[in-house]
Structure 1
Amino acid sequence: MTQEELDVLMGNEEKVNIDELNSQKEQAQDDSDHKTAYGDIVDGIKSQDYKSSSHIAWPPPPPNQEHKVVHQLDDVTRDSEEKAIEQLDRLEIMSNHFSNSEKSLKQLDAIFKKNIEIFSILSEKFPNVQTFQQALQSNQSSQSISSQITEWLEAGQDEAMMAMDAMQYQDIHRQKIERVINVMRALNRYMSSLFEGKIDDSKRVGSAVHINGDSTENVVSNDDIEALITSLGQKSDQA
């Protein structure tokens, strides 16, 4: 409360709405605390729009769920591990498909090889029968295509294995993040222990509102205002 407001109350120059004065005082105090705590604040800044800037050193992000560092790191490690396991499972399924396809092609290759032997003998014995020549060429071509597909499947299986090996680095990154979390938690416990006091905060004496030497000499506490209002009420009753 300013000195002017006190003069109004003491002199009874006009009817004053006490609730309005208290509200104005609380708002002024909040604005003062906000400016003291956050320094130069850019108008219109929102918590969800917070980002670091070389021109704006303050305010920091609010300590809500979105900005709690350890919570976010825990979420990152958990989500990364889940996605890594999911990808490894999919790569393993792909590798199994490649392997099964290779086995099937080997069975087909054995059939092509047997057909080629048969049609080669028939073509030699019956050179004038074009059907045997065509069947021989068709099986030879199919065997060549089968061999090419087998090579592609083997290459795909190799790539899947290499991808699975590369995914192992995800576990290393997770361990690094967990190590950072452990260091941060250890520092937090250390700082809490460092600033720990023997007296419980609820049993501590309240801090003085004004100390000699402060620049704000016209500071009045809530207790002073309540006492002033009570004394004014008593004077009105006596009158």
Structure 2
Amino acid sequence: MTQEELDALMAGELDDMPTNTTDDALLMDADDETMEESLIDSDALDIEKDKATSQLMHEYRPSSTMSWPPPPPTDDHKMVHQLDDVTKDSELKATEVFDKLETINTFMMSAEDDTKMVAKQVASNIALFETLVAKFPKIEQFQKALDDNQMMKNHVENILMNTQMTQDEVMMIMDVMQYQDIHRQKIERVINVMRALSKYMNALFEGKKDDDKRVGSAVHIHGDTSTEDVVSSEDIEALIASLGKK
């Protein structure tokens, strides 16, 4: 090969290089577009699956005559979620009840103090009218006022006694409400046990392979009792034989 032929060959290869580079770039762009379309299709499929699952979960209606299928894992059926709501709501309501009882007890203590002041004044009136009746026995108004104040004293004593009994009842209610906190602690202990069991079961059934990399399960397997609508091997052979006769 002469020098001129070698130079011509090298010049031809250099001329072909941009063309090859352009072709490679086009192929890479096509591959990228294909991968992007595949990713988009996969994402769209996942979104559709999530929508379908969410729709089925929200369309579920419990029935007292059916024990299967179990309710879907929505917020209304998650056991720990529901128990957490129970403990939270019960604690809030118990706090409100304690506050109301404390307010009632404060009012009753104030009423007791006022009643004692009234009783003191009534006792002073009785002492005064007893003196007046002793000095002026013929004046009926003094005797009537004395009788009225003595009757008032009895009513005031009853009010004072009822006020004190009400305070005692409020304290007893507060003692009873302490059991509500004990029940809340028991529920929280149950929640902790359930969470521990859930973590244990998840760890027990954990696999080395991701779920999205696993092979899909067969819908119908030979020997299933719920495959009446599936075509059997005998039916397939009969169909092939009938097609062969035609």
Q: Which TM-score applies when normalising by structure 1?
A: 0.64
Question: Would you say the 8 A contact 1:122–1:132 is kept in 2?
Answer: yes
Map 1:127-142 onto structure 2 (within 5 A): 127-142=137-152
Aligned residues: 170
Letter in structure 1 aligned against 2:181: D
Of 212, 215, 221, which residue of structure 2 is paired with 1:206?
Answer: 215
Is 1:47 paired with 2:56? no
Measure how far apart 1:213 and its partner are.
5.6
Measure how far apart 1:57 and its partner are.
3.5
Match of 1:111 in 2: 121
Relative to structure 1, the CA distance from residue 208 to residue 144 in structure 2 (aligned partners, 3 Å threshold; closer, same or farther) is closer
Measure how far apart 1:81 and its partner are.
0.8
Match of 1:73 in 2: 83
Of 59, 67, 75, which residue of structure 1 is paired with 2:69?
Answer: 59
Question: Would you say the 8 A contact 2:133–2:142 is kept in 1?
Answer: yes
Question: Would you say the 8 A contact 1:50–1:61 is kept in 2?
Answer: no
Relative to structure 1, the CA distance from residue 210 to residue 153 in structure 2 (aligned partners, 3 Å threshold; closer, same or farther) is closer
- Larger of the two Rg values belongs to structure: 2
Q: Which whole-Å CA distance do the structure 2 matches of 1:169 and 1:210 have between them?
A: 53
* Deviation digits for residues 111-135 of structure 1 (CA, Å, limit 9, x no counterpart): 1111111111111011111221111
2:61 alignment partner, SS class: helix
Of 157, 182, 187, which residue of structure 1 is paired with 2:192?
Answer: 182
Is 1:85 paired with 2:85? no
Q: Which whole-Å CA distance do the structure 2 matches of 1:214 and 1:154 have between them?
A: 79
Higher RCO (C-alpha 8 Å, min separation 6): 1
Letter in structure 2 aligned against 1:95: N
Instruction: Tell me the percent identity.
Output: 46
Which structure 1 segments of 5+ residues have no match? Answer: 1-45, 220-239
Letter in structure 2 aligned against 1:180: V
Measure how far apart 1:207 and its partner are.
3.9
Q: CA RMSD in A?
A: 2.5
Q: Runs in 1 of length 4+ with deviation above 6 angstroms?
A: 214-219
Relative to structure 1, the CA distance from residue 209 to residue 158 in structure 2 (aligned partners, 3 Å threshold; closer, same or farther) is closer
Question: Would you say the 8 A contact 1:123–1:132 is kept in 2?
Answer: yes
Letter in structure 1 aligned against 2:155: I
Letter in structure 2 aligned against 1:206: V
Which structure 2 segments of 5+ residues have no match? Answer: 1-58, 233-246
* Deviation digits for residues 80-118 of structure 1 (CA, Å, limit 9, x no counterpart): 111111111111111111111111010011111111111
* Deviation digits for residues 126-160 of structure 1 (CA, Å, limit 9, x no counterpart): 11112211111111111110001111111111111
Kindly indicate which of the two structures has a greater share of residues assigned to helix: 2
Q: Which whole-Å CA distance do the structure 2 matches of 1:119 and 1:150 have between them?
A: 23
